[in-house]
Amino acid sequence: MPNTPWTSPTSFSDQRIRAAAVYCSDGRFGEHFDDLCQNHLALPRYDRLAIPGGAACLAGHPETQHEEHAAHDELRFLAEVHAIERVVLIAHQGCAFYTHRLKVDTDDLRARQLDDLARAAKHVQQLDPALRVDAYFAAINAGKINFEPIDL
């Protein structure tokens, strides 16, 4: 019954966790990104900035100027209004934003994504040097997702 009122069984808390994650909007990874942030990193109710390519849009690509401008403004809003203190950047294996929009060869994909995570982290810290930034690469392994922490 798609057009009937419905109440979520999940309780609501108005307490902010003061953290945000930036990741690709690819829904195949959505639950895994939640799992990493909510369970592994203990960041329930984290703010989400889900955009195609994730941190690619904060890495200074000329092809993504409009997206970069929007993502920058959105993060600044979260920093000012939601008082975020921490940002988690997540890239994922086989990201179609890279192969289709940025025309990155699949052989170069992972290296480009890691490079972009580092560039995006610098971008975020320019917003506010006090922000803690962590980065992960989500790799598919035997039907599961491994999250590798990335040195920035």
State the Cα–Cα distance between residues 34 and 41, nearest whole angstrom. 10
Stretch that binds Zn ion, among 16-24, 79-87, 106-114, 132-140 (CB under 5 A): 16-24
User: Nearest CA to 50 among 82, 75, 69?
Assistant: 75
State the Cα–Cα distance between residues 65 and 58, nearest whole angstrom. 9
Name residues whose C-beta falls within 8 Å of residue 54's C-beta, 6 or more positions apart in sequence.
22, 23, 24, 25, 89, 90, 91, 92, 95, 97
Sign, Cα dihedral of 87, 93, 97, 99:
positive
Q: Which is nearer to Zn ion, 46 or 98 (CB)?
A: 98
User: Nearest CA to 123 among 58, 38, 78, 79?
Assistant: 58
Total of residues contacting Zn ion (CB under 5 A): 4
26 binds Zn ion (CB under 5 A): yes
24 binds Zn ion (CB under 5 A): yes
95 binds Zn ion (CB under 5 A): yes
Stretch that binds Zn ion, among 4-12, 21-29, 72-80, 141-149 (CB under 5 A): 21-29
68 binds Zn ion (CB under 5 A): no
CB of 1 to Zn ion, least distance (A): 32
90 binds Zn ion (CB under 5 A): no
Stretch that binds Zn ion, among 12-20, 25-33, 34-42, 79-87 (CB under 5 A): 25-33
Q: Which is nearer to Zn ion, 26 or 47 (CB)?
A: 26
List contacts with Zn ion (CB under 5 A): 24, 26, 95, 97
